[in-house]
């Protein structure tokens, strides 16, 4: 590893440290000391963001696009160092860090292109009708940036959902300065990415308050950030418990603000009879691969497979168990996550009416695949089985019949994704399930697994609570920019005073 973290916060263009520190806990290599953000430092960072808004919030889309592109370039210029420190801190393999870096720079460039097109501004013009009763004034509408945004780094995506990830990229694209609270599981990765953003700020001559990184391992730092009066919205990817606590703080502010939290999901799969009969074993293998990818540490991890009980389902379970049995233990993102995973697996294993099919041995910071089977009835009677266990854990739910399968679907909480495995002859069966699943999830899939989340125009990474705290928004894809915009109407405002983007419209 050639990059050695200095352990400071980036605040308004300066690297700053406070007295209290915390230690990083890398999966490999040396721990480093990082300064823990005080309330004063967070206040400085947010005030710098507010100061930056008066220029950055009025910058041209071309300027912001160039800035986003430059951030992508600066990240690429630090590629090997980012991979080195990222793999050391998270225990994820180098290929994953490289892929995630491509996703991160791709996202930044996608938003650069997206704002240049301008459709996201949703510009509207109602021309004056002076002889109407009452007369209609000239009305122009445009989506404007909302002000400083707080973003929380995610434990499981050190790049794509962290310092320069989708929340930051979409907020910066909208014209909003960002204060990132780095995740303590990968503070060095956060720091080097912040170095890249600082280099882009300097190269593009952007106000340095446009981006700050504050580090911290305490809950207090996050609370101080989201309750700061100048913060206007929050982007968060993480656990239900942590996210709900921050959501509550946002709602209880003197001025409540939106909390865009993506909080997790069990991403149920429904394996329909014809698909089970024709491709059951292949689907079992694909499921095992998806379930164990990244040690199951994806919000789109397919934790539940619902199918119809019978010999074919037994064969499916056997094939899935075989495939999972071949996957050994692997290091997880943090010791806390590994501990929570093992605790969650034990709770499932101990639940009444649940049979353990696979239970790999693992210790310390490791997670090994686990597979369970139960009946539709048991699943319906025990709501705990429908809660996410973050890691490579699968439950096969054997429904007695189609009606019970539908009952399982109806009982689901909000999900990021729901998946159907189906053949053409399953269409009528699928037709009874799809309307139910559509109300449960932001994304519906057929014959695939949800763990690959395409970054594109049509992607939705969201869903009813608890999958997300705002079912109307998405944290992935170009629509993510809408979270950081608000419509403003200009009535008879002289053209010279209008924002440039709304001056010349039809």
Q: What is the b/e burial string over 80-112, where b = at least 16 CB atoms within 10 angstroms of the residue's CB?
A: ebbbbbbbbbbbbeeebbbebbbbbbebbbbbb
- Among the listed ranges 149-157, 201-209, 369-377, 448-456, the one in contact with a copy of itself (CB under 8 A) is 448-456
H-state helical runs in 93-144? 94-117
Site for a copy of itself in 89-148 (CB under 8 A): 122, 124-126, 134, 136-137, 139-141, 144, 146-147
Instruction: Say whether residue 287 binds a copy of itself (CB under 8 A).
Output: no
- Among the listed ranges 26-34, 35-43, 341-349, 438-446, the one in contact with a copy of itself (CB under 8 A) is 438-446
Binder of a copy of itself out of 258, 280, 294, 303 (CB under 8 A): 258
146-185 footprint of a copy of itself as x/- string (CB under 8 A): xx--------------------------------------
- Among the listed ranges 176-184, 262-270, 388-396, 461-469, the one in contact with a copy of itself (CB under 8 A) is 461-469
Site for a copy of itself in 55-74 (CB under 8 A): 58
Nearest approach, Cβ of residue 373 and a copy of itself (Å):
27
Binder of a copy of itself out of 220, 381, 425, 457 (CB under 8 A): 457
Per the CB < 8 A criterion, the answer to whether 337 and 154 are in contact is no
Q: Which position has the token pair 């801190």?
A: 89
- Among the listed ranges 247-255, 286-294, 296-304, 353-361, the one in contact with a copy of itself (CB under 8 A) is 247-255
Binder of a copy of itself out of 4, 14, 20, 54 (CB under 8 A): 54
Nearby residues of 96 by Cβ (< 8 Å), 6 or more positions away: 294
Active site residue 204: no
Nearest approach, Cβ of residue 375 and a copy of itself (Å):
26
Query: What is the phi-psi region of residue 12: left when phi exceeds 0, alpha when psi lies from -120 to 50, beta otherwise?
Result: left
CA 398 to chain centre: 31
In three-state secondary structure terms, 222 is: helix
Spatial distance between the Cα atoms of 407 and 261, rounded to a whole number of angstroms: 28
- Among the listed ranges 40-48, 198-206, 324-332, 480-488, the one in contact with a copy of itself (CB under 8 A) is 480-488
Instruction: Say whether residue 339 binds a copy of itself (CB under 8 A).
Output: no
Nearest approach, Cβ of residue 251 and a copy of itself (Å):
4
**Which one of 89, 191, 195, 262 is the catalytic residue?**
262
> Which long-range contacts link 308-315 to residues 24+ away (Cβ below 8 Å)?
308/273, 308/276, 308/398, 308/399, 308/400, 308/401, 308/402, 308/405, 309/375, 309/376, 309/398, 309/399, 309/400, 312/273, 312/276, 312/277, 312/280, 313/271, 313/276, 313/280, 313/396, 313/398, 315/280, 315/281
Query: What is the phi-psi region of residue 91: left when phi exceeds 0, alpha when psi lies from -120 to 50, beta otherwise?
Result: left
**Which one of 176, 299, 362, 418 is the catalytic residue?**
299
Structure tokens at 382: 């025990």
Binder of a copy of itself out of 40, 472, 500, 503 (CB under 8 A): 472
Binder of a copy of itself out of 4, 60, 456, 503 (CB under 8 A): 456
Site for a copy of itself in 416-435 (CB under 8 A): 420, 422, 424, 427, 430-431, 434-435
Nearest approach, Cβ of residue 372 and a copy of itself (Å):
26
Site for a copy of itself in 399-418 (CB under 8 A): 413-414
Task: Show the beta-strand stretches assigned E in 33-176.
Answer: 33-35, 124-126, 139-145, 149-152
Query: What is the size of the binding site for a copy of itself (CB under 8 A)?
Result: 74
φ, ψ at 395 (rounded to 5°): -125, 125
Structure tokens at 223: 């609370």
Structure tokens at 392: 């490579």
Query: Toward a copy of itself, which CB reaches closer, 205 or 497?
Result: 497
Spatial distance between the Cα atoms of 236 and 505, rounded to a whole number of angstroms: 35
Instruction: Say whether residue 470 binds a copy of itself (CB under 8 A).
Output: yes
Instruction: Say whether residue 2 binds a copy of itself (CB under 8 A).
Output: no
Annotated catalytic residues are 262, 299
């Amino acid at each position: 590893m050639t990059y050695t973290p200095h352990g400071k916060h980036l605040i308004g263009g300066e690297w700053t440290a406070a007295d209290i520190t915390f230690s990083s806990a890398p999966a490999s290599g040396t721990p480093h000391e990082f300064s823990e953000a005080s309330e004063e430092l967070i206040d400085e960072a947010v005030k710098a963001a507010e100061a930056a808004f008066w220029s950055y919030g009025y910058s041209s889309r071309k300027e912001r696009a160039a800035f986003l592109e430059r951030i992508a370039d600066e990240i690429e210029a630090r590629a090997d160092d980012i991979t080195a420190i990222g793999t050391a801190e998270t225990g994820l393999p180098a290929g994953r860090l490289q892929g995630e870096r491509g996703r991160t720079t791709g996202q930044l460039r996608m938003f650069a292109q997206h704002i240049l097109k301008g459709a996201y501004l949703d510009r509207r013009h109602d021309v004056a009708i002076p002889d109407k009763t009452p007369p209609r004034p000239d009305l122009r509408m445009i989506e404007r940036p909302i002000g400083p945004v707080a973003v929380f780094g995610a434990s499981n995506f050190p790049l794509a959902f962290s310092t320069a990830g989708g929340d930051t990229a979409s907020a910066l694209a909208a014209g909003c300065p960002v204060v990132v609270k780095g995740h303590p599981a990968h503070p060095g990765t956060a720091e080097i990415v912040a170095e890249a953003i600082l280099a882009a700020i300097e190269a593009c001559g952007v106000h340095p308050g446009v981006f700050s990184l504050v580090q911290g391992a305490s809950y207090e730092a996050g609370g101080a950030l989201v309750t700061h009066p100048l913060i206007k919205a929050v982007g968060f990817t993480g656990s239900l418990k942590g996210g709900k606590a921050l959501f509550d703080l946002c709602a209880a502010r003197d001025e409540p603000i939106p909390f865009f939290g993506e909080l997790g999901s069990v991403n149920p799969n429904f394996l329909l009879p014809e698909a089970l009969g024709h491709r059951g074993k292949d689907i079992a293998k694909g499921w095992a691969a998806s379930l164990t990818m990244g040690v199951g540490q994806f919000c789109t991890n397919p934790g539940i497979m619902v199918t119809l009980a019978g010999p074919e389902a037994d064969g499916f379970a056997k094939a899935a168990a075989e495939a999972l049995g071949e996957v050994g233990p692997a290091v997880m993102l943090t010791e806390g996550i590994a501990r929570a995973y093992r605790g969650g697996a034990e709770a499932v294993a101990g639940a009444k009416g649940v049979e353990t099919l696979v239970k790999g041995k693992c210790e310390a910071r490791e997670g090994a695949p686990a597979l369970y089977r139960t009946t539709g009835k048991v699943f319906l009677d025990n709501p705990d089985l429908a809660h996410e266990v973050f890691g490579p854990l699968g439950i096969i739910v054997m429904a007695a019949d189609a009606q019970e399968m539908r009952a399982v679907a109806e009982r689901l909480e909000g999900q990021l994704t729901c998946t159907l495995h189906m053949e053409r002859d399953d269409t009528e069966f699928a037709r009874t399930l799809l309307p139910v699943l559509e109300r449960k999830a932001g994304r519906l899939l057929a014959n695939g697994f949800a763990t690959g989340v395409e970054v594109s125009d049509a992607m939705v990474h969201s869903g009813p609570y608890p999958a997300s705290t705002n079912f109307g928004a998405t944290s992935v894809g170009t629509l993510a920019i809408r979270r950081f915009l608000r419509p403003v109407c200009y009535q008879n405002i002289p053209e010279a005073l209008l924002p440039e983007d709304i001056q010349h419209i039809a």
